[in-house]
Amino acid sequence: MVQRLHLVFGGELVDPSRNVFRDVNDIHLVGMYPDYQSAYDAWKAEAQRTVDNAHMRYYIAHLHRLRDEEAEASATEELG
């Protein structure tokens, strides 16, 4: 079975028109999810919770896209 992990995170942006966090130490890690629907539900809850702050943004990172399951070693493993 292929596992498709997703990370939901967010924080306050310097400018709402750019994807640059004001303080990377304050990034809110919402959680890791085993499927897109669970990640989407978590993302939506956080986005709605912070809707009054135009500088707050939440994102879904598709972690499974960072790894090639067919290759013996992914690019990140080769760095170590």
Query: For residue range 4-53, what is the model confidence (pLDDT) as tens digits?
Result: 899 999 999 999 999 999 999 999 999 999 999 999 999 999 999 999 99
Task: Give domain status of residue 43, yes or no.
Answer: no
Taking the model in full, what pTM does it have?
A: 0.78
Residue 55 lies in a domain: no
Establish if 13 belongs to a structural domain: yes
Q: Is residue 1 part of a domain?
A: yes
Residue 65: which pLDDT band, with cuts at 50, 70 and 90? Answer: confident
Question: What domain count does the chain have?
Answer: 1
Q: Is residue 67 part of a domain?
A: no
Could you tell me if residue 20 is inside a domain? yes
Q: Is the pLDDT of residue 70 over 70?
A: no
Q: Is residue 39 part of a domain?
A: no
Contact 60, 43 (CB under 8 A): yes
| 22 within domain boundaries | yes
Place of tokens 């303080």: 23
| Residues of the domain holding 22 | 1-29
